[in-house]
């Protein structure tokens, strides 16, 4: 499989006080066509910044300092502003966490989808409208031709997220970045949206970069998983490898903190503490402040990635040698 998206050594920094702190610090990953890569971690670990960096949507004063982001072999960081604009929406699209606020409140939802089409293709308003209504139908919005003229505040969160998906998929992009697409929605709606995403992804053979903190969503959708902690990827592998053979103490902590029927009645475990703010990140392994298996060298040295299979790797000193 060739990678649609290949991110290498990405570093994005924000000013904290008087200095700049790399909130995303040397992140690398690939997503192949038709594949779903889930980027998992707690809030504040840099997942969303990674996602936004990929399309160069980092708000000022954030800045991408280093790395390459190649989409279909082209390094996006070298494109002109105009070329980058032509990539967004056409080759790579994005859906966001907050369907409530992500749509322009004073324009009809239909016109916003039609705009996405007309930004990239010379086509008549009537044709854009017709195609938008088809898309609404495709993402299963009821009464699509009526809903075309609705305003965002007249729709539920689930419907708005369907509009966002329709907008993102309007031009059949090769890559879809979904930043917490279901977090703000009710559980039943979540399942429908996930189902829809999977269906569309199979149909168009889209590569999806899924950003989430919800391992349930990961289990539903992901082919491979990359676990992020404090600006770095600490473990990466296929869904099976991560969910059942996790190596990194952080990943295992995350997995232990999901309630499951099998462990009913037991006390739910949690990882003590929260992700420290970027200015307090330790020099070595960044998880060392919360890790239960911390070694002396963890605080000063950065562990290299160790491979456990061709697809599975983790960055940790505490994993016994015999394991690999």
* Interface with other proteins (CB under 8 A): 14, 23, 49, 55, 57, 59-62, 82, 85-90, 93-94, 96, 98, 101-107, 112, 115-116, 119-120, 151, 153, 164, 167-168, 277-278
CA distance 33 to 5: 9
Shortest approach of other proteins to residue 163 CB, angstroms?
Answer: 10
- Beta-sheet strand order (sheet of 224-229): 92-95, 175-179, 207-212, 36-40, 224-229, 232-238, 313-315, 305-307
The alpha carbon of 219 is separated from its chain's Cα centroid by a whole number of angstroms, namely 14
Whichever of 23 and 222 has its CB closer to other proteins, that residue is 23
Whichever of 159 and 246 has its CB closer to other proteins, that residue is 159
Shortest approach of other proteins to residue 275 CB, angstroms?
Answer: 12
Whichever of 50 and 201 has its CB closer to other proteins, that residue is 50
Whichever of 74 and 263 has its CB closer to other proteins, that residue is 74
Q: 195-199 long-range CB contacts below 8 Å, 24 or more apart?
A: 196/139, 196/140, 196/162, 196/165, 197/165, 197/221
Shortest approach of other proteins to residue 273 CB, angstroms?
Answer: 18
Length of the chain, please?
324
Q: At what angle do helices 187-204 and 157-169 cross, to 10 degrees?
A: 10
Whichever of 105 and 265 has its CB closer to other proteins, that residue is 105
Shortest approach of other proteins to residue 212 CB, angstroms?
Answer: 18
CA distance 247 to 230: 18
Shortest approach of other proteins to residue 244 CB, angstroms?
Answer: 33
Q: Are strands 63-71 and 224-229 parallel, antiparallel or unpaired?
A: unpaired
């Amino acid at each position: 499989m060739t990678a649609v998206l290949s991110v290498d050594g990405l570093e994005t920094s924000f000013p904290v006080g008087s200095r700049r702190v790399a909130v995303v610090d040397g992140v690398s990953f690939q997503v192949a066509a038709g594949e779903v890569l889930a980027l998992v971690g707690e809030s504040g670990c840099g997942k969303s910044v990674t996602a936004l960096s990929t399309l160069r949507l980092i708000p000022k004063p954030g800045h991408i300092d280093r790395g390459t982001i190649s989409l279909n072999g082209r390094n996006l960081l070298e494109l002109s502003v105009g070329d980058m604009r032509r990539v967004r929406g056409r080759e790579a699209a994005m859906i966001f966490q907050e369907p409530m606020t992500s749509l322009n409140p004073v324009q009809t939802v239909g016109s916003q989808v039609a705009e996405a089409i007309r930004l990239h293709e010379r086509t008549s308003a009537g044709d854009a409208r017709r195609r938008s209504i088809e898309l609404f139908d495709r993402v299963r919005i009821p009464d699509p031709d009526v809903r075309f003229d609705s305003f965002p505040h007249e729709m539920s969160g689930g419907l708005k997220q369907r509009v966002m998906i329709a907008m993102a998929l309007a031009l059949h992009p090769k890559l879809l970045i979904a930043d917490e697409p279901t977090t703000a929605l009710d559980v039943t709606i979540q399942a429908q949206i996930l189902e829809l995403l999977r269906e569309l992804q199979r149909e168009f053979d889209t590569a999806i970069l899924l950003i989430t903190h919800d391992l349930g969503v990961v289990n539903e959708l992901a082919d491979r998983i990359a676990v992020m902690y404090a600006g770095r990827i600490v473990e990466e592998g296929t869904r099976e490898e991560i969910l059942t053979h996790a190596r990194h103490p952080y990943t295992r902590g995350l997995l232990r903190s999901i309630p499951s029927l099998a462990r009913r009645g037991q006390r739910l475990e949690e990882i003590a503490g929260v992700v420290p703010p970027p200015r307090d990140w330790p020099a070595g392994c960044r998880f060392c402040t919360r890790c239960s298996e911390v070694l002396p060298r963890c605080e000063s040295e950065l562990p290299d990635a160790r491979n456990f299979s061709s697809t599975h790797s983790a960055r940790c000193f505490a994993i016994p040698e015999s394991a690999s």
